[in-house]
Amino acid sequence: MTDPLQPQSASADGAVLRHLPVLLVEVLHALAIQKNGVYVDATFGRGGHCQAMLAELSDRGQVIALDRDPQAITAAEKLRTQEPRLQVFRARFSELGEVLGGCGLAGAVQGVLMDVGVSSPQVDDPDRGFSFRHSGPLDMRMDPSQGVDAAQWLNSADEEVIANIIWRYGEERRARRIAKAIVAARPLSTTQGLAEVVAACVPRGNAKSTKHPATKTFQAVRIFINDELQELQEGLHVAFDSLALGGRLAVISFHSLEDRQVKQTFKALSQPPVLPRRLPVQDLHAAVRGRLVSGPIRAGQGELDVNPRARSATLRVIERVA
């Protein structure tokens, strides 16, 4: 039998994709789960964090699960048939307020978890087109029914636009060289094709380096195609506003752009506003809405030995106090 905290799913060709939820123990501790509480898993994925939350709740507790990925929703619906405390919605971070409002739970949630970025099942399934390690269609959409895919965009965008996206979202200093090579190689249709074009522009570095030269470019294109940073920014505020007093928002990020955005948003929520010196203010603390629960939390060596992908994960937590 499959361990419920180590969910598995199948790719389009039937291969089993194993998914290990990162920082699981740390997330449960950070959320300080109340037995009868209402919690949101804003990125269901394959349900590892969600099932762990449910295991901590009484029969009166419930979990609201969201995801924009149809394969994740299929997995969530399967779990829902066995779990009456679970509600499932196909939605983005920015749509959380609408979902909770429809459930009569606006401002009444004890905890929200956002696990940002691409999931292991998405990366490991070649048909989704997220990874340079497997040859597949150049797609990269978290919801394949929405928007243009990576191939359509790369094959039609101006060279300067491509370069700017690779620089902004991948922080790749060879962005212009890569963009020029992409335009020269068009049309591109596979992940392998894009990876080879980028690899020809980016030196491997020292022999001990394990990072593929296309890592930053794939990250940048994926973030742009899915509008991930804008979704994250809107989602952070919507999620925080959905909390009841004393409720907590926990966010797992996987690269510096995401983590910087989470850190800056949490900082703004946990500090009084900057006001003119001469403005008569009696109580600045009344304007502080959040309290930072801890500094950044990262995986311990024990977890890294089992799940090396947890190495880049960072967990930040804020509690609503007003």
Interval 145-168 mean pLDDT: 97
Mean pLDDT, the chain, whole residue set: 90
When pLDDT is cut at 50, 70 and 90, the band that residue 105 belongs to is very high
Domain 8-115+229-320 has CATH 3.40.50.150: yes
Six-digit token pair at 275? 């006001």
Interval 259-286 mean pLDDT: 80
Select from 217, 320, 294 the least CA-distant residue to 23: 294
When pLDDT is cut at 50, 70 and 90, the band that residue 122 belongs to is confident
Interval 91-100 mean pLDDT: 97
The DSSP result for 63-90, as a single string, is EEEEES-HHHHHHHHHHHTT-TTEEEEE
Ramachandran assignment for 83, one of left (phi > 0), alpha (psi -120 to 50 degrees), beta (any other): beta
State the Cα torsion 156-160-163-164 to the nearest 10°.
-110
Interval 39-47 mean pLDDT: 96
Span 144-226: which CATH code?
Answer: 1.10.150.170
- Name the residue ranges covered by the structural domains of the chain: 8-115+229-320, 144-226
What's the pLDDT tens digit per position in 60-73?
999 999 999 999 99
Note the pTM of the prediction, 2 decimals. Answer: 0.89
Separation of alpha carbons 288 and 272, rounded Å: 5
When pLDDT is cut at 50, 70 and 90, the band that residue 38 belongs to is very high
Whether the pLDDT of residue 229 is over 70: the answer is: yes
Separation of alpha carbons 56 and 29, rounded Å: 11
Sign of CA dihedral 176, 205, 124, 191: positive
pLDDT number for residue 287: 77
Which 3-state string (H, E, C) describes 41-68? ECCCCCCHHHHHHHHHCCCCCEEEEEEC
pLDDT number for residue 172: 96
Quick one: 258 exposed, middle or buried, by C-beta within 10 A (0-12, 13-18, 19+)? buried
Residue 154: in which H helix or E strand, if any? Answer: helix 150-154
pLDDT number for residue 279: 66
pLDDT cut 70: percent of the chain above it: 89
- For the chain, the 3-state helix, strand and coil shares in percent, each to the nearest 5, are 45, 15, 40
State the Cα torsion 227-232-216-256 to the nearest 10°.
160
Helix, strand or coil for residue 130? coil
